Amino acid sequence: MTHAIGEAPGKVLLIGEHAVVYGHPAIAIPVRGVQARVEVELTRHGGMELLAPDLQGPEAKGDHADAIAPLLRLANSVLELFGEGSQGVRLVIQSTIPIGHGMGSGAAVSVAIVKGICAALGRTLTPDQVSELALEAEREFHGNPSGVDSAVVARNEPIYFVRGKPPQTIAVGSETFRFLIADTGIPSPTYKVVNDVKALRDREPARVDSYLWELGSMASVMREIIRGGSAQELGVCMNHSHGILRELGVSSSDLDRLVEAAVEKGGLGAKMTGAGRGGAMIALLGSATDEERLSAELRLAGAQEIYSTTLGGG
Q: Give the nearer residue to ligand PMV in terms of CB position, either 18 or 37.
A: 18
Strand partners, 8: 36
Q: Torsion angle, CA of 57/63/65/68, rounded to 10 degrees?
A: -90
Binding mask 246-285 for ligand PMV (x = CB under 6 A): ----------------------------xx---x------
Q: Smallest distance from the beta carbon of 120 to ligand PMV, in angstroms?
A: 28
Residue closest to ligand PMV when measured from CB atoms: 274
Q: Is 146 in the site for ligand PMV (CB under 6 A)?
A: yes
Sign of CA dihedral 114, 19, 160, 277: negative
Is the separation of the CB atoms in 277 and 252 below 8 Å?
A: yes
Q: Is 184 in the site for ligand PMV (CB under 6 A)?
A: no
Rule CB under 6 A: which of 19-48 touch ligand PMV? 20-21
Burial (0-12, 13-18, 19+ Cβ within 10 Å), 5 = middle
Of 68-76, 144-152, 263-271, 286-294, the window that binds ligand PMV (rule: CB under 6 A) is 144-152
Rule CB under 6 A: which of 92-131 touch ligand PMV? 102, 104
- The secondary structure of 123-160 as a DSSP string is ----HHHHHHHHHHHHHHHHSS--SHHHHHHHHTS-EE
Q: Which of 35, 131, 150, 190 binds ligand PMV (CB under 6 A)?
A: 190
Q: Smallest distance from the beta carbon of 64 to ligand PMV, in angstroms?
A: 11
Q: Which of 237, 194, 220, 221 is nearest to 24 (CA)?
A: 220
Of 64-72, 79-87, 140-148, 175-183, the window that binds ligand PMV (rule: CB under 6 A) is 140-148
Binding mask 1-20 for ligand PMV (x = CB under 6 A): ------------x---xx-x
Helix (H) or strand (E) holding 296: helix 291-300
Residues, the chain, total?
A: 314
3-class DSSP assignment, residue 103: coil
Is the separation of the CB atoms in 285 and 270 below 8 Å?
A: no
Q: Give the nearer residue to ligand PMV in terms of CB position, either 81 or 186.
A: 186
Binding residues for ligand PMV, rule: CB under 6 A, are 13, 17-18, 20-21, 102, 104, 145-146, 148-149, 190, 194, 274-275, 279
